[in-house]
């Protein structure tokens, strides 16, 4: 498995042609207590950069963008009843959606963990 990061603070974990997407620890800290998450439905298609999900906290509502192009194979329905998973485990059980990649080459434009840590340190 390979993990990638975006400047919008999404993470992407790739296994084969399936990419799991969520928000980073940094992003959830900025949001504060998450109270609502809207994930995309299975079968929906996204291009890289499209708004794919919504996360609302006590501080703000934010869009979550699809860091790569693909077709949704699963939305994390658990978040509807337990949005706090995004706070307690943002880079694990608090994932937002999984999609089938349409262009694996798009991953090349994303950061690895070391580059992302450096990016966040400069904020």
Task: Render pLDDT for 71-123 as a digit per residue (tens, 0 to 9).
Answer: 999 999 999 999 999 999 999 999 999 999 999 999 999 999 999 999 999 99
Q: Does residue 11 lie within any of the structural domains?
A: yes
Average pLDDT over residues 12-39: 96
Residues 6 or more apart whose CB falls under 8 angstroms from that of 58 comprise: 32, 33, 35
Q: Does residue 42 lie within any of the structural domains?
A: yes
> What pLDDT is stored for residue 74 in this prediction?
98
Q: Does residue 74 lie within any of the structural domains?
A: yes
Residue 35: Cβ within 10 Å count: 16
Give dist(CA 15, CA 93) in Å, integer: 16
CATH of the domain at 96: 2.40.50.100
> What pLDDT is stored for residue 103 in this prediction?
96
Q: Does residue 6 lie within any of the structural domains?
A: yes
Residue 1 has pLDDT above 90, yes or no: no
CA distances to 17, 47, 76, 81, 100 from 25, rounded to whole Å, are 24, 24, 18, 20, 24
Q: Does residue 51 lie within any of the structural domains?
A: yes
Residue 4: Cβ within 10 Å count: 23
Give dist(CA 26, CA 24) in Å, integer: 5
Average pLDDT over residues 2-31: 96
Average pLDDT over residues 8-22: 97
The range of the structural domain enclosing residue 95 comes to 2-115
> What pLDDT is stored for residue 19 in this prediction?
97
pTM for this structure?
0.96
> What pLDDT is stored for residue 21 in this prediction?
98
Q: Does residue 120 lie within any of the structural domains?
A: no
The average confidence (pLDDT) of the chain is: 96
Q: Does residue 121 lie within any of the structural domains?
A: no
Q: Does residue 80 lie within any of the structural domains?
A: yes
- Based on the number of CB atoms within 10 Å of its own CB, is 51 exposed (0-12), middle (13-18) or buried (19 or more)? exposed
8 A C-beta contact, residue 54 and residue 64:
yes
Count of domains forming the chain:
1
């Amino acid at each position: 498995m390979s993990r990638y990061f975006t400047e919008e603070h999404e993470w992407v974990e790739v296994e084969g042609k399936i990419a799991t997407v969520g928000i980073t620890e940094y992003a959830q800290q900025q949001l504060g207590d998450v109270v609502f998450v809207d994930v995309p439905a299975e079968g929906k298609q996204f291009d890289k950069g499209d708004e794919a999900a919504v996360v609302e906290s006590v501080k703000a509502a934010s869009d979550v963008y699809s860091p790569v192009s693909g077709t949704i194979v699963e939305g994390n329905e658990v978040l509807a009843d337990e949005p706090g998973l995004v706070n307690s485990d943002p880079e694990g059980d608090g994932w937002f959606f999984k999609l089938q990649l349409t262009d694996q080459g798009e991953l090349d434009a994303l950061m690895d963990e070391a580059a992302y840590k450096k990016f966040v340190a400069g904020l």
